[in-house]
Structure 1
Amino acid sequence: MRRMELGQGVYFTYLPSDKFKTSFLSAQFVTPLRAETASAHALIPAVLRRGTARYPDMQSLSAALDLLYGARVEYTVRKKGENQCVGFVSSFIDDAYTPGGEKLLEPVAELIGEMILSPATKNGRFLGAYVEGEKANLIDAIRGIVNDKRDYADRRLLQEMCGEEPYGVSRFGEEKDVERITPAKLNESYRRLIASSRLELFYIGSASLERVRLALEEAFSTLPREEVGEPAVTTTRPAPEEPRYVAEEMDVTQGKLSMGFRCGSDDTPAMLLANALFGGTSNSKLFLNVREKLSLCYFATSQYHRKKNLVTVSSGIETKNYQKAYDEIMAQLKAVQQGRLEDWELEGARSTMTNAFRTMEDSQGRLEDFYLGQAATGQSETPEDMIAELDGVTLERILAAAAQIRLDTVYFLKGKEQTA
C-alpha cells in the first residue's frame, strides 16, 4: 500500500494486486457531515452520473461504458465517522484480461474525471429534469429507511443519542431538505464541494503506480481548488448519568428495541473483541442467550462504531417482552464486563474478527471502503496491522475496555395501543 498527495487536498492510495480479473478505481470527496448540506451532497453524485458534456444522457454514457468492455461506474454516498463521502467507484477488466490487450485504466479514469468536472448542463446549470428525477430517487431512498423498521429504529436511536452531534445526521439528509433543492442551489453546492473538499482517490489492480498516478493527474488536472477544508475530527462524549428512554408508536407488529452505549476506552482492538463477545457474532452472548436460549428476540445483534466509539444493539421483540429483553441484554453486557467467559468464546471472537480483516483482501469493494474510512478519519492501520493488534489483545485489556461501556439511550418502537 502506498499513499501520496497528488495536489492540494488530493490524495491517492495505491493498492497493488494481481489476484483480481478486474481493476477498481474510486474517487471520493470527503466533507464534514452537516444537516444543512447532507441532502445536497448526497444528490450531487447521482445527478453527475446522469451525463457529461460529451455524453449528455445515460444512454450515451452507457454506450461509452459498453465500449470499455462493460466497465461499471456507480455513485456512492457514505458516512465515515462524522464525514460524508460522495463520489464514484468503477470496476473494469484488468489489462491482463482484455481480449486485445487494450488499456482501460486511462479511459475509465478520464470518464470519471468528466463526470465530476464536466457534467451535462444547460446555461451553466444542471438540467432540471435530471435534478428532479434524482430528487425523487433520493426521497424514495430516505422513505425506504422508514419502511424497513429495523433500519428505522437504528436510525432513530442515533438521531436521539447523537442529536447534537454530526453523527446523528443521515448520510442522505432529510426529505424536507431534498424537496427544497433547486438546480441553481445544487450548482452552488456542487462548486463548493469539488473546490473545497478533500478528494481521496483509490486504485486496486495490477497497473504500475506511476501509470495510475499519471492517469489520475491527467483526469483531474482541471479540478478547481480553493481553500480546501480538512475532514471533520470525530467527537466523543461521555454517557449521561441517567440513560434516556424514548418510545415511539407506529403500525408495526414486531417491536424494535435499539440501545446505544458510549465507550470510554480508546483501545480499539480490545473494543472490537468486547463487542464480538457481546453481540457482534453468531457465537455472541446476545445471539446464544437472548435469542436462542431464552427466545426473547427475533434477532439481537450489537455493532461497534469504530470511528465514533459507540456500541449499538439492535433487536426485534414482542412488545410484552420489552422489560425482559432489556434486562437480559444488560445482563449479557455485564457478563462480558465481569469476565464470565469461556475460553472458546474468546478464541471464537478473535478468530471471527481476524478473519473479517483477512478476507478484506478478497474483495476490492471492502478494501476500498476500509481505506476510505481510514483516510476520512485520519487513521493509518492496514488490515494486516489490525490482525496483529487483535492477536495481541489480552483478556485483561478486553475487560478493561468493556468496563467503560455505559448505556446512553434506549429507543423502543412499538405498535399502536400496545404497552411496554
Structure 2
Amino acid sequence: MERFHKTLADGVELVMTRTNQFKTGVFSVTLTVPLRADTATAYALIPDVLYRGSRNHPNMESLSAATDELYGASLGPAVRQRGESQCVGFQCSFIDDHYALDGMAVLEPAFALVGEILLDPYTEDGVFSQDFVASEGANLADRIAARVNDKRGWSIFRLVQEMCAQEAYAVDKLGDAQTACSMTAQALWDHYRTLLRTSRVTFYYGGSADVERVEQAIARSFAPLLSARQAPVVCQVVDRPQSGEVREVTDVMDVTQGKLALGFRTGGVVVNHPQFAALLVCNALYGGTAHSKLFTNVREKMSLCYFASSMLDKVKGLMVVSSGVEFAKFGVAKEAILAQLDAVRQGDFTQEELEAAIRSVVNALVSRKDSQGLMEDDGVSTALSGGDPTRPDELAQQVEQVTHADVVAVAQMLALDTIYYLTGEEG
C-alpha cells in the first residue's frame, strides 16, 4: 500500500492510496469553502441538483444507465463539515480494472462521468432546472427537519449549536429548511459558479492504478478546475478558549427519556497536535469504548444512564459526552459523569485499563485500512487539516507509546464548556 499527496494546481490537490487489496476503486472530488450561514444551504443543495442530470445524461434514469454500464458503479453526492469549513462533492465506487471483462478500462469513464455531472450539468435557459431545484430543495428541507427524530443525535446537535453559538462551526452543514424551499434556479446557479471558482479542490483515489494514470484522467475530466483558481481555502478552525463559566441549556420536548450532553474544549489538542495520540487514549479510557469508565461505572455499576459515551471532533477540538437519563436523575448523572473524568485527571486508572484503551484505539486505527470509504475520509480530512495523508500509520505508532502521565496531562486540559438537557414536559 502506497500513499501519495500532490499539488496539481493552486488550490487543487490529489490524495491517493495505491493498493491491490480491494476489488473496487474509490474516487471522490471534494470542494471546500468556509462554512457560512448565508451560503451553507445553497452549497449543500448544489450536489443534489447536479446529480439530477447532466447535459449528456439529462435525467436520473440516464445517469443510472451510465453507472450500470460501468459494472454497476456507485455514485452519489456528499456534504461534510471539517472545522469551520463545508465540504461538498461526489464519491464514486467502481470495479477495479483487474476484475473487468476483456481488459475494459473502468477508471477513465468513471472519472469522466463524475466530471460530467459536476462540470456539465443539465440546464434550462442557461441555469439549473427550476423543477430540479424545487424538488431537491424540498428533499433537503425534509432532511433538515428530520434531524429532530433522532433524539440522541439531536441533543448533540443542539449542544454544539449552543456551545459554538458565536462560531461558524455551529452553522448546520445542510443549511436551513426555509432557504432550501425558497431557493431559485438563478440564485443556485450563481452559487454554483462561485463554488467552482473559489473552492479548494481535493481529489482522492484509492485503487490499483498508478499516479500518472490518475493524474491524466483528472486532467481530461476536470480541466476547468485546474486553471484560473483563486487562493486556496484553508480548512479553518476557531479555537475559542473556554470562558470559565459553564453554560446550561434546557429544551423541553415530547420525550419519555431525557438526554444529557456535555461539551468540553480540548485546549487546542486536535489532529496533528503532539498530544493528539494521548487524547485518543484518554477518550477511549473515559467514554469511547465498552470498557470505558462511563460505560462500566456510570451505566453498568451505578445504573444511572441508558447509555453513556464520549466522542471527539478531531478537527475542531471538542469532546462530547452523550447519555440517556431519566428526568429525575439528571443531577446525579451529571455529577457521576464529571466524577469519572476527574478520576482520569487524577490518574485513577490501572495499567490494565490503560493498555485496554491503547489496544482499542490502535485496533480502530488499523482497521480503517480495511475500508475504502474510511481511507477516503481520512485522506481528505487529513489533507484539509494541514496534515500529511501519506503517513497514516504514524498515529497508531504514537498511540502505542502513550503513557499514564500523558493521559493525565491531556485530561487536565479538557474544560467543560456547556451542558445540555433534553427533558419531557413532565420532567
Instruction: Judge same fold: TM > 0.5, yes or no.
Output: yes
Q: Secondary structure at the match of 1:55?
A: coil
Q: Cα RMSD (Å) of the superposition?
A: 1.2
- Alignment-derived partner of residue 365 in structure 2: 357
Runs (4+) of structure 1 exceeding 2 A deviation are: 222-226
Normalising by the residue count of structure 1, what TM-score does the alignment of the two structures yield? 0.97
Q: How far 1:228 sits from its partner (Å)?
A: 3.5
CA distance in 2, matches of 1:38, 1:349: 37
The equivalent residue for 1:70 is 72
| Alpha-carbon shift at residue 264 of structure 1 (Å) | 1.7
Code of the residue aligned with 2:172 in structure 1: it is S
Amino acid at match of 1:292: E
Alignment match of 2:255 (pick from 252, 255, 268) = 252
Give the conservation status (yes or no) of the 8 Å contact 1:196–1:225. Answer: no
> Corresponding residue for 1:51?
53
C-alpha contact 2:246 2:417 (8 A) present in aligned 1: yes
1:287 counterpart residue number? 295
Q: What is the deviation of 1:179?
A: 2.5
Spell out the pairing of 1:230-379 with structure 2 (5 A cutoff). 230-264=233-267, 266=269, 267-379=275-387
- Are the equivalent residues in 2 in contact too, given 1:82–1:233 (CA < 8 A)? yes
Q: Quote the offset at 1:347 in angstroms.
A: 0.7
Note the 1:6-405 alignment, pairs <5 A: 6-223=8-225, 225-264=228-267, 266=269, 267-380=275-388, 382-405=391-414
| Cα displacement string for residues 159-203 of structure 1 (whole angstroms, at most 9, x for unaligned residues) | 000011111112111212223321111011110011110110000
Partner Cα distance (2:388, 2:84) in 1: 17
Secondary structure at 1:28 match in 2: strand
Q: CA deviation at 1:222?
A: 2.5
- Amino acid aligned to 2:395: M
CA drift at 1:101: 1.6
Superposed displacement of residue 33, structure 1? 1.0
Per the alignment, residue 410 of structure 1 pairs with: 419
Cα drift, residue 136 of structure 1? 1.4
Cα deviation, residue 265, structure 1 = 5.3
- AA paired with 1:413? L
User: Normalization by structure 2: what TM-score?
Assistant: 0.96
Q: How far apart are 1:226 and its partner, in Å?
A: 3.7
Amino acid aligned to 2:57:
Y
Structure 2: unaligned runs, 5 residues or longer: 270-274
What letter is aligned with 1:240? S
Contact 1:236/1:308 (<8 A) preserved: yes
Match of 1:279, as an amino acid?
A: G
Q: What percentage of aligned pairs have identical amino acids? A: 44
SS across alignment from 1:121? coil
Q: Distance in 2 between matches of 1:263 and 1:274?
A: 11
Q: Structure 1: which 5+ runs fail to align?
A: none
Partners of 2:123 and 2:231 in 1: CA distance: 25
**Count of aligned pairs between the two proteins:** 418
CA distance in 2, matches of 1:127, 1:176: 19
Alignment check: 8 A CA contact 1:81 1:376 kept = no
CA offsets per residue over residues 60-97 of structure 1, 9 Å max, x none? Answer: 11111111111111110011122111101101110110
